[in-house]
Amino acid sequence: MSIKRGFLETPNPRFILSLLLLVLIFPACANESTDSPVADLLASQQIERFPDPWLMRKSDGEYAWSYTHGLVLLGMEQLFKQGGDESYADYIQSYADHFIDAEGNIDTFKITEFNIDSINAGKMLFFLYQHTGDNRYRLAMDTLREQLEWQPRTHSGGFWHKRKYPWQIWLDGLYMAQPFYAQFEILFGEDPSVFDDIVSQFVVIERKTRDEETGLLYHGWDESGLQQWADDETGLSPGHWSRAMGWYAMAIVDTIEHLPEAHEGRQVLGAIMARLVEALIPYQHESGLWYQVTNQGNRAGNWLEASGSAMFTYAIAKGVRLGILNDQLTAVAKKGYSGLLKKIVSIDEEGKVHVNDICRSAGLGGTPYRDGTYEYYISTDRVSDDAHGIGSFLLAASEMIRLNQPEM
């Protein structure tokens, strides 16, 4: 089976027939509208491919409660809220019900690992609790909130990424924890100082990781400076990885959404987001996409990467919608989404939609050791249909739908 790259490129006759059927059913696919029936098709096919959602990706070798599952299911949640099929809500609930027992315990979740990634899948529980009223979801959220209560911190106040990664903050971690932390507090909390803590963590890590020359952020910071990947003077990892900054950008807009209207953190985070977007724009490729290593597009081995590009598209479009970014930046998001449809999304001869050119996984430290260099990032697996790419594309598509259909 051959895959035809670019949703709008000219393929063979069987592919043309499949595409014509799509166009007849979903005309927006043909003209690159910001409405995104291709996202609904992708979501439906994901459900068909993995009827049991926890089987879509392994985590550390097992089918466990995972941030990657959460990313895909949060994309489906947003599509559902934009008028998507009821099957999306059912799929999200089947995932939660597989892991959460009658007392709200989460199977495979180990609080003493203090893995900040474990919080991300808990974001869907707010939706499920509201949608069903089932108290198991509230109890599970309480468990995740308890982890944050005891999560180890750097001396600067930021959450460690994991207990096994001491004194380290990765940009990824801000997305995993802070939006959940804020949403839990505004719905169930009784300590307004939590919002100050949340904003402070964003401020600290931007201050620590921002490169003064480019304005881009480094992937990670080791306060102790003991890691091999950490610069002796700054504690910073060596490179600018697009998905790391994508996680951070999404964290900002998703957190702002749950801050109290009068909290000054809205302006603080808005300014951070504006600085980051200003730094990203010069590195947006003419296709609308961004490279795996953001500022090294001219180097051998680098590629235009799906998940980071989709995350930037989502965060910029949502930032405009929330009023924290200038309306003129809508053009940047539209260009990014167009690039995703033309260069990243494909449809095969059987009419199946694929998301290509995804970095399967990247991190810092661990075994085998990940040193955060350019050579490391471009050596990571470049794959199709991984949860990182599917989830981030669904989120980007959901924001583009909102862009076309503003809320009344």
Active-site amino acid positions: 172
Q: Which of 359, 335, 355 is nearest to 345 (CA)?
A: 355
Q: To the nearest 10°, the Cα dihedral for 386, 1, 50, 22?
A: 90
Cβ–Cβ < 8 Å for 222, 168: yes
As a whole number of angstroms, the distance between CA 326 and CA 348 comes to 38
Inter-helix orientation angle 67-81/37-49, to 10°: 130
At residue 328, what are phi and psi to the nearest 5 degrees? Answer: -65, -20
As a whole number of angstroms, the distance between CA 209 and CA 129 comes to 36
Q: Which of 363, 405, 313 is nearest to 164 (CA)?
A: 363
Q: Which of 243, 187, 213 is nearest to 380 (CA)?
A: 243
Residue type, 241: W
